Structure 1
Amino acid sequence: MASGFRFSKRSEHALAGVHDDLVRVARRALELTEVDFVVTEGRRTEARQRSLVAAGASRTMRSRHLTGHALDVAAWVDGGVRWDWPLYPRIAAAFKAAAAELGVAIRWGGDWPRFRDGPHFELDRRSYP
């Protein structure tokens, strides 16, 4: 069943430069999700990544965002962004279902044992070096 959610112009802009397979997964996830979401960031410049590392918002200069192999989302509830953790596994379930359906290997930052990153989705390095 389709959710009826649509990406905003801001989300569409954030998808520019993101690998086509991850864009397909995000679009399908938006159709499957119970929790609406926006794409907050896709491909990053090295300068942007450096500033995020300096601020402690990222821990690596080897981010998949630098190559367009990652994107970040935010839950969109009642007309605004929400960061409540319980929303993100629900969004992740839609991403994982979409990826399985499309045959695209992804990783969710919320599954990482350290520095869990609920808004982060990336193409798996084993399939997308």
Structure 2
Amino acid sequence: MGFALGARSRANLKGVHPDLIAVVEEAIKLTEVDFTVTEGLRSKERQAALVKAGASRTLNSRHLTGHAVDVAALVEGQVRWDWPLYGRIAAAFKAAAKKRGVALTWGGDWTKLRDGPHFELDRRAYP
């Protein structure tokens, strides 16, 4: 292990809720699979473009308030989208959230439109 967040990941965490940033920072230390933060806070325009492109189904994304991040698995420095990698990253995020006492939801646990790269602060604890 021994991964660290890169400059791109840190830049993509600007505007993200501090509790979620703390989880990301802890998860990178715990993960068996390296990852990069691809997106955090989004503008309404960016979200609308993602909906129009079919990459999102909601205009009410947690990204709009800095309560969500998306990550990409890195294997030998290359982005990979293989589903099993995201379960392993999610295990690190869940352990980090538990350690930090942060209520976290993983998009891979959703029953509709599962989203393996997506992590967000639980709406019940972070409305």
The alpha carbon displacement at 1:62 in A equals: 0.6
Which residues in structure 2 correspond to 1:83-94 (within 5 Å)?
83-94=81-92
Amino acid paired to 2:44: E
Number of the residue aligned with 1:114: 112
- CA-based RMSD: 0.5
Equivalent of 1:21, from 19, 22, 35?
Answer: 19
Cα distance in 2 for residues equivalent to 1:8 and 1:97: 21
Cα distance in 2 for residues equivalent to 1:25 and 1:113: 23
Cα distance in 2 for residues equivalent to 1:108 and 1:14: 18
Cα distance in 2 for residues equivalent to 1:99 and 1:65: 18
Which residues in structure 2 correspond to 1:1-129 (within 5 Å)?
3-129=1-127
Query: Where in structure 1 do 4 or more consecutive aligned residues deviate above 4 Å?
Result: none
Cα distance in 2 for residues equivalent to 1:78 and 1:84: 14
Question: Between the two proteins, what is the percent identity of the paired residues?
Answer: 68
SS, match of residue 86 in structure 1: helix
* TM-score of the two chains, using structure 2 as the length reference: 0.99
Structure 2: any 5+ residue segments left out of the alignment? none
Amino acid paired to 1:58: S
Deviations 1:11-48 (A, max 9, x none): 00000000000000000000000000000000000000
The alpha carbon displacement at 1:4 in A equals: 1.4
